[in-house]
Amino acid sequence: MVGGLVAAVIGPQVVIWTRDAWPTAPFAGSFLGQAGLALLALPLLWMLRAAPPQSAVVEGTARPLGTIARSPGFVVAVTAGIVSYGLMAFIMTAAPMAMVGCGHTVGEAALGIQWHVLAMFAPSFFTGHLIARFGKIAITALGLVLIAASGLLALAGLELLHFWGSLILLGVGWNFGFIGATAMVTDTYTPAERAKVQALNDFLVFGTVAVASFGSGRLLNTSGWETINTLMLPLIAVVLVMLGWLTLHRRRATASATVTQ
């Protein structure tokens, strides 16, 4: 978490300071600056000592992955994670280009990303407490609502504060939505099933993120900033309905079990 906050400040500043360092190649200095930061991380990685693998065999019978993947809890949790992270990457990738295209400077676009990344990681200090108090589904839903609010703010205008405010809401929404959805996934498996279920979840989520990142710039170029922000609203609505359905489904299951006892 702390690393993300530090990177949120240093990364955009490196872009601002170095983008014109090589006059004949705009932004080449920014890439070299990023490479330098990566090299600075090598000594820290060298000192890292990962925990040794557990030799004990996890007890319990593992269900087939297909059975778990078809369970309502898993489907809803993974869908919420995909939409939360995918939309964040989709909007974040397009936002700097949209800002520059609307007449804002590269420095202002970089600062917008700085505030966005700070908003992504700063809430992590208390997100866990919110989940413990209000529940995983509630915090996931709140995150999706904030992402929708970021889209509505982006649609309200093209001034600098519209972009920055939208990116801040997007960052906080990602934090609540993705962390909440990831916590929901942990309810769907036993210790013996953990590795394969988490692997499937990560594959689906980050595969979607890759596709969203690649497609964002092209859609911005062909359809515009307004279309990008409009498209995410129905996706969020679908996931909110799914979260509401899962909540009712679990309440009915709990009530049925209580009556049976």
The Cα 176–Cα 188 span in angstroms is 19
Mean pLDDT of the chain: 90
Q: Give the pLDDT confidence score for residue 261 in this predicted structure.
A: 59
Task: Give residue-wise pLDDT tens across range 110-136.
Answer: 999 999 999 999 999 999 999 999 999
Task: Give residue-wise pLDDT tens across range 49-84.
Answer: 777 766 555 556 889 999 999 999 999 999 999 999
Give mean pLDDT, residues 242-249: 95
Distance of CA 20 to the CA centre of its chain: 31
Q: Is residue 22 predicted with pLDDT exceeding 80? A: no
Is residue 16 very low, low, confident or very high in pLDDT (cuts 50, 70, 90)? Answer: confident
Is residue 12 very low, low, confident or very high in pLDDT (cuts 50, 70, 90)? Answer: confident
Give mean pLDDT, residues 101-105: 95
Residue 49 half-sphere exposure toward CB, CA atoms < 13 A = 1
Residue 108 half-sphere exposure toward CB, CA atoms < 13 A = 16
Is 116:170 a contact under the CB 8 Å cutoff?
Answer: yes
Q: Is residue 260 predicted with pLDDT exceeding 70? A: no
> What is the rounded (10 degree) CA torsion for 123, 124, 128, 134?
20
Q: Which residue has the higher pLDDT, 170 or 257?
A: 170
Residue 185 half-sphere exposure toward CB, CA atoms < 13 A = 24
Task: Give residue-wise pLDDT tens across range 157-168.
Answer: 999 999 999 999
Q: Is residue 197 predicted with pLDDT exceeding 60? A: yes
Is 34:14 a contact under the CB 8 Å cutoff?
Answer: yes
What would the two tokens of residue 171 be? 């960052």
Range in 33-37, 202-206, 222-226 the model is least confident about: 33-37
The Cα 117–Cα 115 span in angstroms is 6
CB neighbours of 11 closer than 8 A, spacing ≥ 6?
34, 37, 113, 114, 117
CB atoms within 10 A of CB 60: 10
CATH 3.30.70.20 fits 69-260, yes or no: no
- DSSP structure string for the chain: -HHHHHHHHHHHHHHHHHTTSSTTSTTHHHHHHHHHHHHHHHHHHHH--PPPPP-SPPPSPPPPHHHHHTSHHHHHHHHHHHHHHHHHHHHHHHHHHHHHHTT--HHHHHHHHHHHHHHHHTTHHHHHHHHHHH-HHHHHHHHHHHHHHHHHHHHH--SHHHHHHHHHHHHHHHHHHHHHHHHHHGGG--GGGHHHHHHHHHHHHHHHHHHHHHHHHHHHHHH-HHHHHHHHHHHHHHHHHHHHHHHHHHHHHHHHHHHH-
Q: Give the pLDDT confidence score for residue 11 in this predicted structure.
A: 74
Q: Is residue 20 predicted with pLDDT exceeding 80? A: no
Domain with CATH 1.20.1250.20 in the chain: 69-260
Give mean pLDDT, residues 229-258: 91
